[in-house]
Each structure stands twice: as C-alpha cells, then as structure tokens.
C-alpha cells in the first residue's frame, strides 16, 4: 500500500471520540510516471534527468498535455522521433475513462469517470449566469470524513486521487464541451472559468495532490485558470487549514469552510469532525488564513429543517462570523436517500437569509443545480 499517514490522521488516531477514516487502498503507482500529474517545473526536471532534454522541452510537452490535450506521444510533433520513442518507454499518458454523462433540466452536466483501477468518481459542470461554466471536481474516491448530510460519506473511503486524476477531470470536461460545440455547429466552445474542489472527498485531506493540481490548472502554458477563480473547500480539518494558511494558499485561491451549525452539540451530530475540532478551534484556524483584497473566505451553511435553521441559528451565525471578512453561501439541503434530513420550507429559508442580510452579512442563497440528476451539493455518488 503506497500511503503515508498525514498530520490530521495521526492526530485523530489518538482521539477516542472520533477518527478520520483510513483508506482501503493507496494511490496506484504505475511502473511509469504519468506526465499529466507533473507541474511544469517537475516535468522539466524529469525530462532533463531521464532524456537529457533541453529545458524548453518542458513548455512544449506541458502544452501538448494541457492545452492541446493529446492522447499519445506521437502527437507531439515538435519533438524528435527519438524523444517521442523514449517518452513512450519511460512515461505514461493514462486517462480517466468517461462512463456516463447526464444532463439536468437546468443544463448542469454530471460526468461519471472511471479510474484505471476501476473506481467511479463524479464531476459536475454548472452553467454560470454569465458566459462560461463552473466545474466541481473530486479529490478522493469516497471520503475520509462522515458528514451526515452528504451522500458521498455513505461510500466510505477508498483512496486519495492522484494529481493527474484530479487534473484529468477538467481535461475530460473540456473535451466534452468541445465535442458538444462541434456537433451543434456552435461558433465558440464554452469555457470552464471557475473550479471548485467540492466534489467527492475532503480536498485538504489530500493536500499535496490538490496543491500540485492547482499549480497545473493555473499554469499559463496549460488551462490558465485564474487562481482567484479556484476555491478549495474543507469540512474543518484544522491541521490542514493551518498548513493552508502557513503556506500562503489563501493568497492564491479561495477557501470555503463547511460550517453548517452554530453550536457544538448540533455540529457534533451533523459533522462528527467537530468532536475533534470544535467551532471555536476551527474559526481560530480560519482566522490565520491570509486573504487578498479581492478574495474573502466563504462559509458554507447547509440548511436542515428543524436542525440548524431557526432565527436563533441565524443570529448566532451573525455573531460567529462578525469579525471575518467573508461571505456566506446558504444552501438548502438537497435530499437523497442516504441522509435523514429534509429541506426547510421556502419561507423558513427566506427568513433565515433575511436575518443575515439585515445584519450586514454578505450572503448568497444557493439555488439547487442539477438536483434532478443527483448532481447538486451533497448528492454526489448517491447512485454510484
């Protein structure tokens, strides 16, 4: 098993109340490295070491992989035949296979992708109000945490995704959009303008792979997605948030914290991770995350009927977040068979949001997207 315990897992193993799930397997290690999972710097070092290639080859190969999205080394026509043959012998270009693509009434698409070792993961494309799309991508097969409102938690935790498997979700989505545009005779191909690490899994539990994937997705020679348009979510993995802050990621990409309760007893039940790191401890860690003038921390709040949706909850939420330069995404619960909760009434939702806004909290009410194909927030992998 190719797996090393992270800081969060080492801490949790000493906790008798609640533990982070262990993976049932490690990330598969192929005989040859997959070049899709290397940053441009890492790729340059590898090409120099393995092929004795000049440094500019890294730009060329990286562009073929992430801009032109080629499937073979033979397609890299500005490399010599010798170099292409050597790459074929020493490196891999494995792909995720597309199992299914579902399209919701509102235009949201859900992609089910299959890893080389046979596991299913899901990614969602959501049309923006303006031109372009937001892609919600996964970081794990299943999830190491046990948020009670989330369908992914019902799958258990199989393993972390490798860097190339995270990046490949965006590549496959871009290929889908290009194919659709071609078949429809469209004048232009819709662009993926925003990426959110809010799919299957806890992104900060797979910190190293997620960070490298961000470096690849933001590279100007590849997808060139602006860091300010990338958001990494967390359920409250405090040691990883502290690392996120320490390494300055808050200045590169956004952070979204799944809060979902205003008291520890309620959050203990809804999100058992709170039994290890309380609301106060979580907010203390978030307080240390540096943010730029253009970015705010996002707090996600899933509204559950008769659990966390009272006027008192709304007023406590205002009090908890008053000191933060933040905005709040209020998300009415998206029902699925794996959770015991219900969505509040429309009137209750509006009253909750009104209290936040009247107190000056920057607040958005998240409209369910793709819930008819089980692609909305909290529903991923419900039918896997």
Binding-site residue numbers are 143, 147, 150, 201-202, 233, 258-260, 334
Q: Is 377 a catalytic residue?
A: yes
If phi > 0 it is left, if psi is from -120 to 50 it is alpha, else beta; for residue 201 that is: left
Exposed e or buried b per residue across 11-50, where buried means at least 16 C-beta atoms within 10 angstroms of its C-beta: bbeeeeeebbbebeeebeeeeebbbbbbbbebbbebbeee
Q: Compute how many other C-beta atoms are within 10 angstroms of the C-beta atom of residue 78.
A: 10
Retrieve residue 234's tokens.
Answer: 């967390």
Binding-site residue numbers for S-adenosyl-L-methionine are 201-202, 233, 258-260, 334
Q: Is 122 a catalytic residue?
A: yes
How would you classify the pairing of strands 120-127 and 133-136?
A: antiparallel
Exposed e or buried b per residue across 247-258, where buried means at least 16 C-beta atoms within 10 angstroms of its C-beta: eebbebbbbbbb
How would you classify the pairing of strands 120-127 and 109-114?
A: antiparallel
Report d(CA 316, CA 81) in Å as an integer. Answer: 66
Catalytic residue, chosen from 136, 326, 363, 377, is 377
Angle at 376 between CA 373 and CA 382, to 5 degrees: 65
Phi, psi of 234 (to 5 degrees): -150, 150
* Distances in whole angstroms, Cα of residue 25 to Cα of each of 20, 46, 157, 237, 251: 15, 27, 9, 21, 33
Binding-site residue numbers for [4Fe-4S] cluster are 143, 147, 150
If phi > 0 it is left, if psi is from -120 to 50 it is alpha, else beta; for residue 52 that is: left
Catalytic residue, chosen from 9, 42, 83, 122, is 122
For tokens 């009272």, the residue is 310
What lies within 8 Å, CB to CB, of 315 at 6+ separation is: 355, 359
Which positions are annotated as active-site residues? 122, 377
């Amino acid at each position: 098993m190719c797996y090393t315990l992270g800081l969060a897992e080492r801490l949790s193993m000493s906790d008798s109340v609640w533990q982070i799930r262990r993976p049932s397997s490690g990330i598969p290690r192929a005989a040859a490295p997959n070049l899709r999972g290397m940053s441009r710097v890492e790729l340059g070092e590898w090409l120099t070491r393995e092929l004795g290639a000049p440094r500019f080859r890294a730009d060329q190969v990286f562009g073929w992989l992430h801009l032109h999205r080629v499937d073979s080394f033979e397609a890299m026509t500005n490399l010599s035949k010798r170099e292409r043959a050597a790459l074929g012998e020493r490196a891999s270009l494995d792909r995720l296979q597309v199992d299914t693509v579902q399209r919701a009434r509102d235009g949201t698409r859900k992609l089910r992708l299959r890893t080389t070792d046979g596991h299913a993961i899901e990614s969602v494309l959501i049309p923006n109000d303006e031109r372009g799309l937001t892609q919600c991508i996964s970081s794990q097969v299943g999830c190491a945490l046990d948020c009670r409102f989330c369908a992914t938690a019902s799958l258990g935790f199989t393993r972390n995704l490798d860097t190339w498997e995270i990046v490949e979700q965006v590549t496959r989505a871009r290929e889908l959009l290009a194919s659709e545009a071609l078949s429809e005779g469209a004048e232009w191909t819709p662009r993926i303008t925003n990426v959110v690490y809010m799919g299957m899994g806890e992104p900060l539990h797979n910190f190293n792979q997620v960070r490298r994937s961000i470096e690849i997705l933001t590279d100007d020679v590849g997808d060139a997605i602006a860091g300010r348009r990338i958001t990494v979510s967390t359920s409250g993995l405090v040691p990883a948030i502290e690392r996120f802050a320490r390494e300055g990621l808050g200045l590169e990409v956004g952070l979204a914290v799944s809060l979902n309760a205003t008291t520890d007893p309620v959050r203990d039940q809804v999100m058992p991770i709170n039994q290890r790191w309380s609301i106060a401890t979580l907010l203390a860690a978030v307080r240390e995350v540096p943010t730029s003038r253009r970015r705010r921390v996002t707090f996600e709040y899933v509204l559950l009927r008769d659990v966390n949706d009272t006027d008192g909850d709304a007023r406590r939420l205002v009090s908890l977040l008053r000191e933060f330069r933040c905005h709040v995404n209020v998300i009415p619960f998206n029902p699925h068979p794996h959770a015991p909760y219900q969505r509040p009434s429309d009137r209750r939702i509006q009253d909750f949001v009104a209290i936040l806004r009247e107190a000056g909290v920057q607040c958005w009410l998240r409209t369910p997207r793709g819930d008819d194909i089980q692609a909305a927030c909290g529903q991923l992998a419900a039918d896997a």
